[in-house]
Amino acid sequence: MSDDLIQKLLQAEQTASKKIREARAYRTKKVHAAKVEAIQEIKLLRDEKLKEFENYKKERLGSTEEQTKENNKRTEIEIQKIRKQAQVNQNQVVDLLIKTVLNVDTQMILDQNKKLKH
C-alpha cells in the first residue's frame, strides 16, 4: 500500500513536471511571438511616422528645388535693388570723390608741418 502511494506521488510529480515544462515552453513561445509582433508593429509605426514627417517637411518647407528657386528669385531682386541704388547715387558719389580729392586744405598741411618741426 505504501508502495502504491509512493508510486502515485512519483507519477503525480512526473505529471506536474511535464505540465510545468509544457507551460514554460508555451510561455517562451508566446513571449517570442509577442516580441516578433512588437518588432513588426514598431517598424510599421516608424515607417508611418517617417512618411508623416516627410509630408510635413514638404508642406512646411517645400522641396529643395522649390527652395532654391525661391532663394534665387529673392537674391536677384536684392541685386536689382542694389544696382538701381548704385545708378541713382553714382553721379553723387563721383562728384563727392572729385570734390574731396581736389579740395585739399593747405592750411591744415602747413599747421601739421609746423608742429612736426617743433
Q: For residue 62, what pLDDT band results from cuts at 50, 70 and 90?
A: low
Say if 13 falls within a structural domain: yes
Give the pLDDT score at 103: 80
| Greater pLDDT, 46 or 99 | 46
Residue pair 67/61 in contact by the 8 Å Cβ criterion: yes
Residue bearing the bigger pLDDT, 90 or 18: 18
Please, what's the b/e burial string for 73-94 (b: 16 or more CB within 10 A of its CB; e: otherwise)?
Answer: eeeeeeeeeeeeeeeeeeeeee
18-44 per-position pLDDT tens digit = 999 999 999 999 999 999 999 999 999
82 and 56 in a common domain: no
| Distance of alpha carbon 36 from alpha carbon 32, whole angstroms | 6
Question: What is the count of structural domains for the chain?
Answer: 2
Cell representation of residue 52? 508623416
38 & 6 share domain: yes
- 50 and 96 both lie in a single domain: no
pTM of this structure: 0.42
- pLDDT (tens digit, 9 = 90+) per residue, 73-84? 999 999 999 999
Q: Does any domain span residue 67?
A: no
Which range of residues forms the domain containing residue 97?
77-118
